[in-house]
Every structure is written in C-alpha cells, then in structure tokens.
Amino acid sequence: MSLPNVVFLDRSTIPSHIEFPHLPFDHQWVEYDATEPDQIVERLSQAQIVITNKVVLDRQTLSHLPNLELIAVCATGFNNIDIEYCQQAGIAVANVRGYASQSVPEHVIAMMFALRRNLIGYHQDIAAGEWQRKQQFCFFTHPIGDIAGTTFGVIGNGELGQATATLAKALGMNVIFAERKGVTKCREGYLSFERVLMLSDVLSLHCPLNLQTQNLIAAKELAQMKPDAILINTGRGGLVDETALIHALRSQQIGGAGVDVFSQEPA
C-alpha cells in the first residue's frame, strides 16, 4: 500500500522559522514555495492531503482531484476554499482557529493609535523639518484624539473580535457589538448593524468573507459613519468596497482607515 501524499502549495507564506509538527503517520511530503493557478491540478494529482494558506481551491479545480481527502488551511479564514463542493465530494476541510488571538488584536490597537494620534503624519513632518521651523517645543499640524471614553464598534464576535474588544475595554473604550446586517431583531448584547455604524468612533471588522459579507462596508455604510470615525479591517479585503473607501477618504467623509488586507494581494 502506497503512502499518502501530503502537498503544501504555498510554504513561503509561513515564516521559515516556524516549524511544522511531524505528522503522526507515514507519508510522503512535498512542498512548494508558491503555486500558480495553472499548476494546482498537476501538483495535487496524486495528493490525498493538501496544505494551503491562500491558494484558491475552487469547484472547477477540485473536480479534477478525485484522490483528495483533506484540505488543511493554515489560516483562520477559508474563503479560498469551495466549502459547498467539499461537502458534496466528501473532502474534509480544517482550519487554524485562534492562532492569532494576540497578534491581530494588538495590530488593530496599534493601527488605531497610529490613526488617532496621527503618528505617521507627525513622523513625516518631523523628517521634513517642520518641527525645527516652528522653533518651539510643539507644533500642531495634525489633529490628535484621545482613545479613552470613545466608542469601539466590533463587527464579528468570534475569538478575534472578542480579544480585540478586551484590549479596547482595557483602554477605557465603550465597546459595542454589531448584529448581523439586515437582521431586524437584535440578540442580547448586540446593537443593530446600522446603530453600530453611527455610534462608533472606531469600527473594527472581524468577520469571515463569504457571500453574505462581501462588500459589507460600502458607500451606503460609510455614509452612516461619523465624519471623524476610523475604519479598521484586519479580516479580509473583500469585506470592504475599496473604491467606496478611497472615495470616502479623499472626500473626508470618514476620519481614516487602517487596512492590512486587500481584495487583490499584493495590493
């Protein structure tokens, strides 16, 4: 009996210093730094198990892989996998939950401070000699906002949303959670989606990307936000209509945005 084939399609998306645990069964392991769409079927033709981070495995691709039994996604989000087809074909799918429950919330808070305090703007001004030209101990080229007492809105009440909310509460922020968009009756502990948009000084997205959340924040939603509000997206790029966001920023419809995910990456 031949050994099961395990293929890692995009090993370079994981830092090299991170070691993968040895699988507790005999197997043949093959890994690639990256895999282009037209290389997937060939590389997985004999695979029983595939490991991927961001390589897209859609219905058309999966239909050519009759030997595949398990897709292991080395990330929390799995929007790059056609889950419906996997259910129909009996292919198991596993993801990694909670691996970034510290780093993602900390990154959200870091971006929030950078935007509220205009750290990048002041850094650029100092590098350009603006402080020296003022000839005094301070200068006021950008607004600075405090965090304590402001409202932190969370869309997505999973592990990352909860962990980020905990940090926001520790900073003295009023944390509110949004009910699902379009729902008329709110669950206990939630406010309506529209209400959270209107009340939030900082709005942070922590929901998965699927058909229901595609362009969750678009022109209509941005128009409901406060003119000095900050939008932070560390979820998936497709959660936000990027064209609408660019317009909102250029027209100063909202105060700023912290984004580390895009619909097309590299952006």
**Domain 103-259 - what CATH class?**
alpha beta
- For 59-72, give one letter per residue: b (16+ CB within 10 A) or e: eebbeebeebebbe
CATH 3.40.50.720 in the chain: give the residue spans: 5-94, 103-259
Question: What pTM value is reported for the model?
Answer: 0.86
Give the relative orientation of helices 119-127 and 103-116 as an angle to the nearest 10 degrees: 60
CATH fold group of domain 5-94: Rossmann fold (3.40.50)
Query: Which H or E run contains 259?
Result: strand 256-259
As a whole number of angstroms, the distance between CA 20 and CA 11 comes to 10
pLDDT tens-place values along the chain, 267 residues long? 689 999 999 999 999 898 888 899 999 999 999 999 999 999 999 999 999 999 999 999 999 999 999 999 999 889 999 999 999 999 999 999 888 899 999 999 999 999 999 999 999 999 999 999 988 899 999 999 999 999 999 999 999 999 999 999 999 999 999 999 999 899 999 999 999 999 999 999 999 999 999 999 999 999 999 999 999 999 999 999 999 999 999 999 999 999 999 998 887
As a whole number of angstroms, the distance between CA 196 and CA 153 comes to 6
Rg from Cα positions in the chain: 22
At 39, list the tokens.
């290389």
As a whole number of angstroms, the distance between CA 254 and CA 115 comes to 12
